[in-house]
Chain A
Amino acid sequence: MHPRDLSPDEVRLSLTRRSFLSASVQGVGAAALASLLSRDLLAKATASGAMPGLPHFAPKAKRMICLWQGGGPSHVDLFDHKPTLQKMAGQDIPASVRGDTRLSTMSSGYSKWPCTPAIAPFARYGKSGLEMSTMLPYTGSIADDICVVRSMNTEAVNHAPGVTFFMTGSQIPGRPAMGAWLSYGLGSMTEDLPAYVVMTSADRNRTCGQLFFEHYWSNGFLPGRHQGVRFRGVGDPVPYVGNPPGVSREARRAMLDGLQDINREHFGLTGDPEIETRISQYEMAFRMQASVPGLLDFSDEPKSVLEMYGPDVLTPGTFANNCLIARRLAERGVRFTQLMHSGWDQHNNLTTGQLAVQCKDTDQPSAALVKDLKQRGLLDDTLVVWGGEFGRTPFGQNQQGQGYKGRDHFGRAYSWWLAGGGVKAGHQYGHTDDFGWNITKDPVHVHDMQATIMRLFGINHEALTFRYQGRQFRLTDVHGHAVKGILA
């Protein structure tokens, strides 16, 4: 790393390292020092790389798995039961309820707002009796482990700005994503894998065009090493992690040994500590080449575990497969795993069976992940969140006059669930009105959710900042309050 990309705190860290070095250099000379230093000594001194003073208080969560449900899962169909929509089916949602809500241009010009009941019945699950759709029986089976938040809200009316908003705190691309902030603030817990991993998957029939852009896992203005690393479902899971054809691990090791010898020789001559950093990065790369294939080799998973995640678990690129990888990443100390799954943008296919398929594909793996973490004792300090960029309109959408087959985007109120990592279990938080339109109690804005997540990691969201363009930037912009009501 080069000082130019360092924050003041990082400079302090690096100066400590340098002053240690410079003190030694004066005593023994750079060349001698090179041989005195064991290969990774300097790297180990800052291996975790946490900012001084962080965490601000005792963390509940050490790692997080974000199960991103792209497109906007319908809160009124899945988590927020509204019998009134059934009672008033087909009648307009009263203007007094609708107010001047900002909607997407697909529905903002509508003249009819027919109440559209949930696609499937709701039921109560677990001892806690949390109410959710019968299309989510597996999630129902972890009801006593999760906290359903029914009062999420956002200003975004469209996908990309909405996703960008949750990930980075701003609707406009360019700022660091949450995972990058956590990597920057808390450092890494593993030397063999990136601190911040992203995986993507699509719904079974690729019904919608929700794309996953790199700015959803960008380092923004933070140093480049905090960027999320996307594990791919095809080819090398991590770009270039495999040796070129014809290069065996042994040959590579021999080549690196020679390379490092020459680098150390050069360090002896120039005395630039950055060379030591480079040497340790190449060693980390070599270790990563071994740990990534092991990560993806499920042969050590018992059949019972594989079955938990459902029939797609062995198919690379599926949500189920990614969920199992996420658990394995958590075990290996990856700080932030961001799974991004698409297919919840049901404008005209809510009633066509797509929702049922989508629920089936996501319900079992999501629940399995929570159970699996729990049975391994990892759930206590692993935060799992499940949700998308917004919910869907309580009124039906008659797209292109094809009949009321779906719902439009709706950011005024929607539902998420969280589990583990210091979150209240078997709990529901926040309320909406009889139509699922307005929040009536305990609103949780996107910035509030971000502040809460930071809080669970022991971070005061107002105090994890980075100086850029002459001001202190933070994930939550200038907003957000940690929501105490969902902390265990």
Chain B
Amino acid sequence: MMARPSTALLCLLAASASAKPVDYNDDVRPILSENCFYCHGPDGNKRKADLRLDVRADALAGKAFVPGDPDASELVKRLLSKDPEEVMPPPESHRKVSPEQRETLRRWIAEGAQYREHWAFVAPVRPAVPANGEKQPVDAFVAERLAQAGLRLSPEASRETLLRRLSLDLTGLPPTPEETAAFVADRSPDAYEKQVDRLLASPHYGERMALPWLDASRYADSNGFQQDGDTFQWVWRDWLVRNLNADKPFDRLSTEMLAGDLLPGAGLDEKIATAFVRNHILNGEGGNIAEEQRFNNLFDRVETTTTTWLGMTVACAQCHDHKYDPVTQKDYYGWLDAFNRVKERGTPSGGPTQNGGRSRFRLDGTMVDAPSPEQATELARLQADFDALNKDFFTHQNAAFEAWLAKPTKDKGMLPKELEALLAPDVKRNAAQTKKLHDHYVKNVFPEDRKGIAAFKKIDRARQLLDGYRGDVLPRVMVMSDDQPRESHVLDRGAYLAKKDKVTFDTPAFLPPLPKDAPRNRLGLAQWLFRPEHPLTARVQVNRQWQLLFGHGIVRTSEDLGVQADRPTHPELLDWLAVEFRESGWSLKRLQRLIVTSRTYRQSNQVTPKALAKDPDNRLLSRAPRFRLPSPLLRDVALRASGLLAPKMGGAPVYPYLPANPWESLAIVTKERDFSYPTSQGEDLYRRSIYTFWRRTVAPVNMFDTSARQTCRVRTAVTSSPLHALTTLNDPTWVEASRRLAELAMKASADDAGRLAFAFRRVLGRAPEGREPALLLKLLEGQRKAYAADAKAAESLLAVGAGERDRALPATEHAALTAACLAVFNLDAALTRE
């Protein structure tokens, strides 16, 4: 019997009478997906009662509902049932359909139970821009949505705030006071656009934009796991920064990362690009099963490439057809096949060093050599040295043979009887006999003999230098290749030995098909991603760019645009941007320029009571978002504001300040290799964070809230923990930066107010205002008191960091101002992108 609707439900019914019709994508699928598809969805193996609800025809065939008649519909009966055997979802599933959701489903059935394809699986069509007076399409869409909520865009932020925001977003560095002053003074109508173009052209742009790519490609400078061998994948990092700076179109950039090696005429750069796929963990533990590890790597490649470009994880389909998205196991292993052709073992191994030890580098095929010009010269020199000596190898060897014949050493190499006779002093030997002896000598005697012969000692040393250089110095980048085709299979529950049906590369069946003439490899895959009918690629990337500039994507679950995804806050804007991005040639800089020149981006972040009430989470963008800077950029800001930042770009990773023995957790346990931290010296202490050596097993501790670089991450959390505060208060990087900033301030101004304003401006990009000057003075006064009373403490504070302090400055004053600068770096407004 049907339960009587409650009063609440009746109210809802009344309220909904005038509402717009229920929309399958907006209203219904989220309920069904969350509560029903697990057992009645795309996964055929686990489907219960042979009922499938994600396809209308199947649901109708299964008599799940009667369109137009909720009361006669089994689905409604089950939702309302009080019988634990009958009720859906079953109690043990821990899922619950709320009364409101039940009512939505009722209405949907009453209105005919129409289905629509998931929005993200339908190619975007450029929507009409709302005609609401906004000049910029971005603003037109945002303002339209705000107007529906009775809100509008906030006024433009101050120029100081705006330039800091823009500089941090596009380059990860704060503006210099001179840059800010120039912008504030520029009265030309395109003053802002000029700043945008300046920053987009900055070489620091690529360093900033590379950060999310490093997270996506789970980039690290070591393999992870036992031994945690170092790698040379930083060569790829440099490729990335260069190509982002050059604004290589996104389709080309992506194609090179996925399949550069397969492009016609692929050169070294295109091969290096594919390291994106190879930046994964490698497990070199003794006793592990190489093929099992190789499959772990393959699974990771599937996960990383689908998350990055499709904005969907297909990992569920490793073991079974996906529960929510229409991804089958066959789709999964079909995709995997394209990545299953690398000549590799699955576990890394190490080469020699020039001293004869084992290299700290551990790599697995396929690799390409990527020497710098100097390294190429050195390598050629070592090769030439070796060749010059080695060309006389056989002459030396024959000489050694002759010497042996003259004075054979019988104890070496167990001479057979027949040969022993031939060695008698007066025996005449024919050519064949001599050859026999020669063969014996080379095989059995020479390996020992050569160790005592000067000529060979030289050759061997030259060889060791050459091999050691190749093993320990010459950068070798692990890249993709198709040089070992293998058969791929569907694996039962993802177990690498449980091979089922053979599969070859194909794209997932629910997406547009691979063109018939497309290459059946990674290149075909990459080209397919950028076909105009592809529904995901452009949306996914536009959404990530929005996330970078606004803190959230238009779809907040930027790693997942599948059926379980968050609904886009501005679906039309997303589609408009996606089409625009594609049709204008996939230029990332052009896309970013479009977004950052919008009024939406340039708004003030001031929270008004009205906006807070109607848009508490700022999903509608009634104001500019405020968010704490990513931790690598916090460090960069401190270095830049204090003038410490070394401008050098690229190259092997560096080892800036970390707490003593940062790798001690590895070192304490193993004697297999040296895990002491080789702290850098000089300018390498002050390079941008992107160049900090990233040990995969122990990430740099002053980089918090970042991806752990174990798996692909395209969305990281900004959290707030006391440990973060301790880092920016006590890490020598910040302390030394404060000391340097204080030094600059003391030289720039003679009075407290001027000094504080100077420092404040360099960090926050604006002058202190309101009560801030007075509060800063009070803070400084307090510190001055502390250091006036303790001269030794002042000296100690000023001694932090490798750089020398300027001893001409009075220590008490310098220390007090250093502490005040440290406070400035730790202001919420300094840590935050306003």
Query: Which A residues fall within an 8 A CB radius of B?
Result: 1-5, 11, 15, 18-19, 21-22, 25-26, 29-30, 104-106, 157-161, 172-174, 194, 200-202, 206, 208-215, 218, 220, 223-225, 229-230, 232-236, 238-248, 250-252, 254-259, 261-263, 265-267, 269-272, 274-275, 277-279, 281-282, 284-285, 287-289, 317, 342, 408-409, 460, 462-463, 467-471
- Report how far A426 CA is from B666 CA in the complex, Å: 37
Contact between chains at B711 and A173 (CB < 8 Å): yes
Chain B residues with CB below 8 A from A208, complex form: 669-670
**Given A30, A194, A261, A284, which contacts B607 in the complex, CB threshold below 8 Å?**
A30
Given known pairs A15-B616, A263-B828, the reply for A1 and B720 (CB within 8 Å) is yes
* Chain B: CB-nearest residue to A25: B609
Contact between chains at A278 and B720 (CB < 8 Å): yes
Contact between chains at A239 and B701 (CB < 8 Å): yes
Q: What secondary structure prevails in chain B residues at the interface with A?
A: loop
**Given A209, A213, A223, A266, which contacts B670 in the complex, CB threshold below 8 Å?**
A209
- Report how far A194 CA is from B704 CA in the complex, Å: 15
Q: Which of B187-195, B397-405, B588-596, B794-802 contacts A (4 or more CB under 8 A)?
A: B794-802
Q: Is B671 an interface residue (CB 8 A)?
A: yes
Chain A residues with CB below 8 A from B559, complex form: 468-469
Contact between chains at B786 and A470 (CB < 8 Å): no
Q: Name the distance in Å between B545's Cβ and chain A's nearest Cβ.
A: 16
Q: Is B708 an interface residue (CB 8 A)?
A: yes
Given known pairs A281-B720, A470-B324, the reply for A258 and B778 (CB within 8 Å) is yes
Contact between chains at B726 and A244 (CB < 8 Å): no
Q: Name the distance in Å between A253's Cβ and chain B's nearest Cβ.
A: 9
Contact between chains at B626 and A4 (CB < 8 Å): no
Chain A residues with CB below 8 A from B698, complex form: 213-214
- Report how far A265 CA is from B731 CA in the complex, Å: 26
**Given B323, B659, B785, B792, which contacts A240 in the complex, CB threshold below 8 Å?**
B659
Given known pairs A234-B661, A259-B826, the reply for A206 and B670 (CB within 8 Å) is yes
Q: Name the distance in Å between A174's Cβ and chain B's nearest Cβ.
A: 4
Q: Name the distance in Å between A65's Cβ and chain B's nearest Cβ.
A: 19
* Chain B: CB-nearest residue to A222: B717
Number of inter-chain CB pairs below 8 Å:
329
Contact between chains at A255 and B670 (CB < 8 Å): no
Contact between chains at B800 and A200 (CB < 8 Å): no
Within 8 A of A (CB), among B626-679: 626-628, 659-661, 664-666, 668-672
Contact between chains at B829 and A266 (CB < 8 Å): yes
Contact between chains at B315 and A224 (CB < 8 Å): no
- Report how far A4 CA is from B618 CA in the complex, Å: 11
* Chain B: CB-nearest residue to A43: B720
Given known pairs A211-B666, A247-B793, the reply for A258 and B782 (CB within 8 Å) is yes
Chain B residues with CB below 8 A from A462, complex form: 92, 94
Given known pairs A22-B613, A270-B606, the reply for A470 and B312 (CB within 8 Å) is yes
- Report how far A15 CA is from B283 CA in the complex, Å: 43
Q: Is B556 an interface residue (CB 8 A)?
A: yes
Contact between chains at A202 and B669 (CB < 8 Å): yes
For the complex of A and B, the 10 pairs showing the least CB-CB separation, nearest first, are: A5-B717, A258-B779, A246-B797, A246-B796, A470-B564, A271-B607, A285-B722, A285-B725, A174-B711, A104-B287
Contact between chains at A173 and B665 (CB < 8 Å): no
Given known pairs A234-B660, A248-B786, the reply for A282 and B735 (CB within 8 Å) is no
Query: Which B residues fall within an 8 A CB radius of A?
Result: 92, 94, 224-228, 281, 283, 285-290, 296, 299-300, 307, 312-313, 315-316, 323-325, 551-552, 556-557, 559-560, 562-565, 605-609, 612-613, 616-617, 626-628, 659-661, 664-666, 668-672, 697-699, 701-702, 704-705, 708, 710-711, 715-727, 729-732, 735, 770-772, 775-776, 778-779, 782-783, 785-787, 790, 792-800, 815, 819-820, 822-823, 826-829, 831-832, 834
- Report how far A17 CA is from B563 CA in the complex, Å: 30
Chain B residues with CB below 8 A from A240, complex form: 659, 701-702, 723, 726-727, 729-731
Contact between chains at B819 and A105 (CB < 8 Å): no
Contact between chains at A470 and B562 (CB < 8 Å): yes
Given known pairs A200-B665, A282-B725, the reply for A22 and B609 (CB within 8 Å) is yes
Chain B residues with CB below 8 A from A271, complex form: 606-609, 612
Contact between chains at B285 and A158 (CB < 8 Å): yes
Contact between chains at B775 and A261 (CB < 8 Å): yes
Chain B residues with CB below 8 A from A173, complex form: 224, 281, 708, 710-711
Given known pairs A211-B226, A270-B607, A272-B605, the reply for A239 and B288 (CB within 8 Å) is no
- Report how far A409 CA is from B287 CA in the complex, Å: 9
- Report how far A190 CA is from B351 CA in the complex, Å: 49
Chain B residues with CB below 8 A from A469, complex form: 307, 313, 315, 557, 559-560
Chain B residues with CB below 8 A from A258, complex form: 775-776, 778-779, 782, 820, 823
* Chain A: CB-nearest residue to B708: A218
**Given A244, A247, A255, A275, which contacts B828 in the complex, CB threshold below 8 Å?**
A275
- Report how far A279 CA is from B829 CA in the complex, Å: 12
Contact between chains at A470 and B563 (CB < 8 Å): yes
**Given A245, A317, A467, which contacts B800 in the complex, CB threshold below 8 Å?**
A245
Contact between chains at A105 and B287 (CB < 8 Å): yes
Contact between chains at A25 and B612 (CB < 8 Å): yes
- Report how far A229 CA is from B815 CA in the complex, Å: 31
Chain A residues with CB below 8 A from B722, complex form: 281-282, 284-285, 287-288
Contact between chains at A214 and B708 (CB < 8 Å): yes
- Report how far A11 CA is from B792 CA in the complex, Å: 49
Contact between chains at A4 and B552 (CB < 8 Å): yes
* Chain A: CB-nearest residue to B613: A22
Q: Name the distance in Å between A134's Cβ and chain B's nearest Cβ.
A: 28
Chain A residues with CB below 8 A from B718, complex form: 1-2, 4-5
- Report how far A11 CA is from B717 CA in the complex, Å: 13
Contact between chains at B616 and A470 (CB < 8 Å): no
